């Protein structure tokens, strides 16, 4: 299983795991076809499958908080992304 699939599963698992780094999330989003543009400050505009949302780069570390991961989960779901759909697209069971 790819690291992107593992990360996507981790984003959607309960309880929320906050041990996810900005570069990993950014890499996953690019892998999923998102465009990511810096806006102002620590904010980044993300467009994925026609859905636009804003991510905040963590200020004091590179790790996302549990709340950030929960919001990312909502954004991914709105864009039609889920671990099972991603695995199916990648030809994995």
Question: Which CATH number covers residue 17?
Answer: 3.30.160
| Residue closest to 71 by CA, chosen among 49, 51, 41 | 51
User: What is the edge-to-edge ordering of all strands in the sheet holding 51-56?
Assistant: 35-38, 43-48, 51-56
What domain range includes position 64?
Answer: 3-89
Count of Cβ atoms closer than 10 Å to residue 45 Cβ: 14
Number of domains in the chain: 1
Report the pLDDT value the prediction gives residue 60, as an integer from 0 to 100: 75
Report the pLDDT value the prediction gives residue 1, as an integer from 0 to 100: 47
Separation of first and last alpha carbons in the chain:
10
Residue 41, by phi and psi: left (phi above 0), alpha (psi -120 to 50) or beta? Answer: left
CB 59 within 8 A of CB 68: no
pLDDT means over runs of 10, the chain (93 residues)? 86 88 94 94 94 88 89 96 69 52
Report the pLDDT value the prediction gives residue 30, as an integer from 0 to 100: 96
């Amino acid at each position: 299983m790819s690291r992107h699939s593992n990360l996507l599963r981790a984003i959607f698992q309960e309880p929320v795991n906050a041990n996810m780094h900005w570069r990993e999330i950014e890499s996953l989003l690019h892998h999923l076809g998102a465009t990511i543009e810096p806006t102002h400050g620590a904010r980044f505009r993300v467009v994925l499958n026609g859905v636009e949302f804003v991510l905040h780069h963590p200020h004091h570390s590179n790790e996302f908080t549990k709340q950030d991961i929960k919001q990312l989960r909502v954004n991914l779901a709105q864009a039609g992304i889920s671990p099972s759909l991603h695995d199916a697209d990648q030809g994995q069971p």
